[in-house]
Structure 1
Amino acid sequence: MSKLSRVRLHNFKGKQSEWAIAPKMLLVGPNGAGKSAVLQAVMVGILGYEPRLGRTPASVVQLASGREMSVEIETDAKFILHRTFKMSRGAVSTSVWVSPHQGEKNLADAHRRIAEEVGDFAVSFDLNAFLSLSDAKKRAFLFSLSPTRRSGWDKAHLKSRLIQAVRAPVSSLTLHAWIDKAFSLWSEGQDLQSNFDRMLIYLKKEFSLWSMRKKEGILAARRMLHARNQEPFVPSEATRTTQREIEEVIERIIRIREELAKDEARRASAEARGREIRGIRARLEEWQAASASAQQIETRIAELRARSFDRASSEEERREIERRAAALLAEIDQEERRLGDLKIALEIEEKGLTRAESIRGTCPVVEGIECPVDFTPVIVEGRERLSEQKKALAEIEMLQSARWRHYRELQESLGHLQARAQLLDEGEREAQKQIAAWEEMLRRGGRREEERSELEAVLARLETEEAADGGYADPGDLVLQKEGLERHLEELKRRLAEQEERRSLWIAYQQNQVEVKKADANVEALKQLIAALGPKGLQGEMMKEMLAPFSKIVNDLLRAIDPEKELLFRFQDLRGNEIFEMGWNRGERFIPFETLSTGERVLFSAALMTALILFREPRCRLLLVDNLESVDLHHRRRFVEALCTFVNEGHLDHFIAAGVEGIPPGDAARLGVKMIQMADSEKVSA
């Protein structure tokens, strides 16, 4: 058998430490010192997960204090296994490394090697929690750790037994469908308990869903039944009668619309013919009037040609005004340049006088030197001259403004002449256009007689057709009939909708009854399957088959520490009800676990957990116990003594117990227990 020699932790619950593992080991220290971290690290190292947290890498990284966590275990045979868990961008990855390497290529090979060297099973339990478990939870705990596979309980056997167990009045198709769905979740790579849990969780979830559907269906049925009772029942014949009436009304409306369309076509044809007749008559009348007025047209043409459109006098006046305006504009430009020069000269002289005034008493040539010369007379004379020049400039500007006004007046006169010339041009063009039109009329007059005879023939034909036309009916009556039928159709449609709504309510009620029955069948089938798979069904039968050899192992262990104790499992009470209890067998009396003394329950727990390990036959038999302080010193000592006996007799390779309180050092030395006192912030190797 392999034995563990060392465990190393990296970022495991904040620990960076290394521990030497002894066959008998007791970790003592306050809460937070890292006792549970060591126990959990050993479980993670051997199994790859912590059973109480879950079986996935994502559950293991709850224990990490960094983005990378690792556990390394070494055996006395120098076999080393190293597990690493990494977190990156929300994903968790795991890797396993073993040494010495024997050609392992993947995780499966590494796990197989670990199982060969140290096994794939260990028991870790909380003493305080186990002592307070109910019977049902104790049964679930034992079932989760028991090796039922070796008793022949595989997928095929379990499915066969389940089919036999649920033979009942429930629809066999429904039952078998749920059985197939449940067993489709079976994974050959998982143990029996994991598959059991997966199937039961699935079936219980479906049971809740179908129970809810059944409840909702019943409530909906009540509502629909109440609503149906509020309205009279509508037979299907009434709905068909209403539908036939609707079809008849629609046919009548279609016929009226067709008749209206035909009348509309006849009316449109008659109106078009009438418009054509009126047009021909108008043209004939125009031609007749035109023939009578040909002489008048010739007279008007002569009058238009005699009209004077002479523009010579206006053109001469326009040229004279343009000449005068051009001369005036040249004079204005010349004066503008002269005004600009005068303004620049005035500005320069103004700046010179201003500077002379500002430097009074100093030299005008060299700055900063005083000058005794008085320039005041010169400045006064310059100011007077500047004033006279400004007055002259103002007079020149007034004359320039007068020139501009005269220029604008000339431009305005020129605009009037141009407008008058444009009117003469337009009048001449209109006269020519009118003359051309009248001349065209006179030319057409020669061809008018031939066209007139043709138009008279067409007019005679159209008048004959008009006289033969029987006319068309007044659409008012048909429109009134159509509108009345359309209102009746809407009423029939509303009535049909109400009838169909009441009919659909009844159909929905019938469909709902089918769905309720379906839900009821599924609920009953799921209920039977859950019961058949549960603790009082096949799970209980497996427990009974397993507990016979298991009880023998426990009692053999008990005899090594207290020959008077004998374990007994009871599956029926005095009334014959299905139960699960474990306790002592004292002659004819059964003493339940809950009524045993603390010492008896402690010994019971030690033997029970050791028996589970022996039952699974792992390569390394390891028992981990937490919260040892939950019992007093006397019972704590008895518990440790029992575990030491199991190690001494070869039933266990290791036990590691942890608690806030341990046993006296003298007792530890006597029993050969390695007791480690752990500080609040353990950081050294032990």
Structure 2
Amino acid sequence: MIIRLINAGFKDQTRTVLFSGLDLFTSANVNGVGKSAVLETFKLALTGEIPGRAKNVDDILQFTSLDEIKVGIVAETCRGAVHVERRFLRFAAKGEKRPVSVNGAVKKFEEGSQWVRQHIGAVSISFDPFEFLNLTDAKKRQWIIAHSPESMRFDPETLHAFLLGRMVENILGTGIVHSLLTALGSKSLKEICKKADPQKVSLLREGLEDVLRQQDPGILSLILKTLDAVFRIVGKYSSSEENSNAMLRHLKTEILRLKNAVRDQDIALACMGPASFNTGVFPTGQGLSDCRQGILNLSEKIEALDKRMESIRNQKASDNKREQRIVFLEKNISRLVEKMNPDMNDALIKMRALLHHKRQQPDALQEKLKNLNRELSPFAVDFQAQENKLRQLTDQLKFQQDKLETLGCAQFACPVADEIRCDTDMAPYREILLANIERLGAEEKIMCQSFASARQALSACQSEIAALDAQLADMLAGNQKIQREIGLVEEQIQLEEKETAKAHGQLTAYREEMSAMEEEMSAMEEEMSAMASETNRSAPEIYPGEEGGAEILAEEKAALILARQDQQRSLDEGLRLQGKKEAVDKLLGQKKLWQQELKIVKQIHDLLGCVQEEMASAIAGALETEVNDVLKLIDHDYHFTLNLQGANFEMGWNRDGKVIPFKTINSAHFVIFIVPFLAALIQRLARTRDKTGLPTLKALCIEAESLTPDNLRALLQGLS
């Protein structure tokens, strides 16, 4: 039981409502006090949406000026109190705008909603009579089916086996399906699908697929393809009615697509023209292979002609090159003969001999210079000795003179006492010194005269040697100049010899090449003469060099090309006709395949519609029975009627065979009938959950405005 409802932000309200089990919210003709807000908050907290008004988070956030709505419930369960809180955030990442908190544990929207259905229960109905009566018949029908256990018992595997069984019955008859059902202990497809035994359903599906696979694998492939596509759109958290409608919409889309595809094939076939084709018959009367072979043969002939024409062109080009080469050789031979001049080489040899003769011989001069140097060497040694002796004599003379000068002014002091003076007579010693000085002066004079003579002789000898050195240097410089001139002449001689050898080699090579070409031309002329003299040629042949040969081959090639073009046109026409027939066959095959698929999709669509109608019929019958069982406790004359088949929605009071529909909220019969009707809906849903062991929450919210006091009292009595 839900004991508390919390609203923080929905319709900019903040309130907590405590429930007792049967609660009435009224106002004395005052609107805007929050009665509807309580009921809508209850819907939002329990289901995460406001049925018919707001399904996604953007629609829900339109009921507030805030950035967040927070609603919650506190429910008493067998395991204790459970607090479920739902938040709707304006600014959050994708997939995180509708978190659900269960006892503080945050879950995503789908996971949280599933937890609420599994642990609190899903048997809750929020009913607004005024809103219900203003719905279209289709919406009313959908609302009743969505709140019925048949809608909740939707099993894709069972429905898949049921549709496959019906398709096998349509294609192969009921006998095969009946034998499979008998083997499984069932009498009909409805029975085995009603029990929904997973093992039997799986065995039935495998048996049906095996039968179709043996009879027509193509049909089986199309059926399974269609069914797989249909069941891929089944929503995990959607009701049977929602899934069925989605599947029917998908099938209708496929039917439209296949119809358009078949129509497109018909248009394409109409554009192809009349379908009268004879594959392999062509305007020339030949087959495709004959045309291809003929084109191949003509191409080979054209290729052979191209080779022969290329050979002729190459031969002509070769002849032109040969003639140009001969002219070139003749010119170069004449040039080389003129270039080879032996007189120039003889003149260079004579010049070289003259230069050799002009060279001077410095040997005698060098020998004379050598002898002078030999004679000068002892003389120079003697001159050096005399110079040394003169220097010694001069030194002795200067020494004696210094001693004499010292004796004249010397004062000798006693080494013992300064006041003691030497009175010795130095005259004898002075005389000896004067005699030595005189003798040494005479010897110095004689030596100076001898040294001057030697110096003069040495200078003369050195002058002669210098003159000879200068003469030798001039001679050597002249010889070097002459040697350079000789080198230049020898280089010129070598260059002339090389040029002469090169010219001689070229001349020999040119003459040999000229001779070979003349021999080749002679051989070709003999061959051409032999070919021209033949008279037993079976077909006209063109040989290289024949006048007009290339033109004859070009004409023959043009004729072959025209013949090949004719053959190609014939082949293209044949291929066009063959391609047209293949395209038509392909279009017809694709059209047949799509027609077959369209037929299967239509059958599955009709079968699914029948299933939906059967489900609606079963819901209407069960509701009539249960509501009337309750009404008998009030009055045996009250009889509730409900028709949900097709577009004929009918709901009202069956009074003596005449149905009085519910039109206004204040009609007495509507108030009398509404409580049993809603109670039957809740009880049927609750029983379904009880069978599966799921917890069940029975909650009925009725929003009824402008009821008369009597009708309100009757409504409360019915609810209590």
Q: What band does the TM-score fall into relative to the shorter chain?
A: 0.5 to 0.7
CA contact 2:141–2:644 (8 Å) conserved in 1: no
C-alpha spacing 1:481/1:558, structure 2 compared with 1 (3 Å): farther
Distance 2:665 2:711 in 1: 15
2:653 partner amino acid: W
Counterpart selection for 1:88 from 85, 92, 102: 92
CA contact 1:260–1:478 (8 Å) conserved in 2: yes
Mapping of 1:550-565 within 5 angstroms? 550-559=623-632, 564-565=637-638
- Report the CA distance between 1:233 and its aligned residue: 5.0
Alignment of 1:97 with 2:101, yes or no, is yes
Counterpart selection for 1:472 from 545, 548, 552: 545
2:50 partner amino acid: E
Cα deviation per residue 1:211-262 (whole Å; 9 max; x = unaligned)?
322232233333334xx47xx8574332725544433332232222222232
Distance 2:224 2:300 in 1: 56
Instruction: Report what 1:40 is aligned to.
Output: 40
* % identical equivalent positions: 21
2:84 partner amino acid: L
C-alpha spacing 1:647/1:127, structure 2 compared with 1 (3 Å): closer
Alignment of 1:504 with 2:548, yes or no, is no
CA contact 1:43–1:122 (8 Å) conserved in 2: no
Instruction: Report what 1:383 is aligned to.
Output: none
Distance 1:446 1:81 in 2: 118
1:82 alignment partner, SS class: strand
Gaps of 5+ in 2: 173-218, 348-487, 529-543, 687-694
Counterpart selection for 1:514 from 589, 592, 612: 589
Mapping of 1:49-88 within 5 angstroms? 49-52=49-52, 60=60, 63=63, 65-75=65-75, 79-86=82-89, 87-88=91-92
Counterpart selection for 1:119 from 121, 124, 127: 121
Q: Choose 544-553 or 586-595, whichever is displaced more.
A: 586-595
- Report the CA distance between 1:146 and its aligned residue: 0.7
Distance 1:118 1:446 in 2: 122
- Report the CA distance between 1:457 and its aligned residue: 3.1
- Report the CA distance between 1:566 and its aligned residue: 1.0
Instruction: Report what 1:645 is aligned to.
Output: 717
1:249 alignment partner, SS class: helix
Distance 2:669 2:545 in 1: 117
Instruction: Report what 1:624 is aligned to.
Output: 701
1:6 alignment partner, SS class: strand
Instruction: Report what 1:368 is aligned to.
Output: none
1:616 partner amino acid: L
C-alpha spacing 1:159/1:581, structure 2 compared with 1 (3 Å): farther
Counterpart selection for 1:282 from 331, 339, 343: 331
CA contact 1:12–1:65 (8 Å) conserved in 2: no
TM-score of the two chains, using structure 1 as the length reference: 0.60
Distance 2:31 2:493 in 1: 126
CA contact 1:606–1:643 (8 Å) conserved in 2: yes
1:42 partner amino acid: F
Count of matched residue pairs: 499
- Report the CA distance between 1:465 and its aligned residue: 0.6
Distance 2:281 2:33 in 1: 85
C-alpha spacing 1:105/1:62, structure 2 compared with 1 (3 Å): closer
TM-score of the two chains, using structure 2 as the length reference: 0.58
Distance 1:53 1:245 in 2: 79
Instruction: Report what 1:183 is aligned to.
Output: 231
Q: Choose 246-255 or 594-603, whichever is displaced more.
A: 594-603
Instruction: Report what 1:314 is aligned to.
Output: none
Counterpart selection for 1:254 from 298, 303, 306: 303
Instruction: Report what 1:147 is aligned to.
Output: 149
Counterpart selection for 1:271 from 317, 320, 324: 320
Instruction: Report what 1:656 is aligned to.
Output: none
Larger radius of gyration: 2
CA contact 1:603–1:642 (8 Å) conserved in 2: yes
CA contact 1:47–1:121 (8 Å) conserved in 2: no
How large is the RMSD of aligned CA atoms in angstroms?
A: 4.6
CA contact 1:557–1:646 (8 Å) conserved in 2: no
Cα deviation per residue 1:324-352 (whole Å; 9 max; x = unaligned)?
xxxxxxxxxxxxxxxxxxxxxxxxxxxxx
Higher relative contact order (CA 8 A, sep 6+): 1
Cα deviation per residue 1:468-515 (whole Å; 9 max; x = unaligned)?
224435433334444565566566656655554454333323222222
- Report the CA distance between 1:271 and its aligned residue: 3.4
C-alpha spacing 1:488/1:57, structure 2 compared with 1 (3 Å): farther
Distance 1:11 1:568 in 2: 42
1:84 alignment partner, SS class: strand
1:94 alignment partner, SS class: coil
Distance 2:647 2:165 in 1: 19
Distance 1:34 1:462 in 2: 123
1:477 partner amino acid: I
Counterpart selection for 2:676 from 601, 607, 619: 607
- Report the CA distance between 1:524 and its aligned residue: 2.0
2:98 alignment partner, SS class: strand
- Report the CA distance between 1:201 and its aligned residue: 3.5
Alignment of 1:174 with 2:174, yes or no, is no
Distance 2:566 2:64 in 1: 75
Counterpart selection for 1:456 from 506, 511, 526: 511
CA contact 1:585–1:591 (8 Å) conserved in 2: yes
Alignment of 1:567 with 2:634, yes or no, is no
Alignment of 1:523 with 2:527, yes or no, is no
Instruction: Report what 1:391 is aligned to.
Output: none
CA contact 2:96–2:108 (8 Å) conserved in 1: no
1:88 alignment partner, SS class: coil
C-alpha spacing 1:36/1:519, structure 2 compared with 1 (3 Å): farther
- Report the CA distance between 1:71 and its aligned residue: 0.7
Gaps of 5+ in 1: 300-432, 649-686
C-alpha spacing 1:116/1:518, structure 2 compared with 1 (3 Å): closer
Instruction: Report what 2:612 is aligned to.
Output: 539
Instruction: Report what 2:163 is aligned to.
Output: 162
Distance 2:10 2:566 in 1: 80
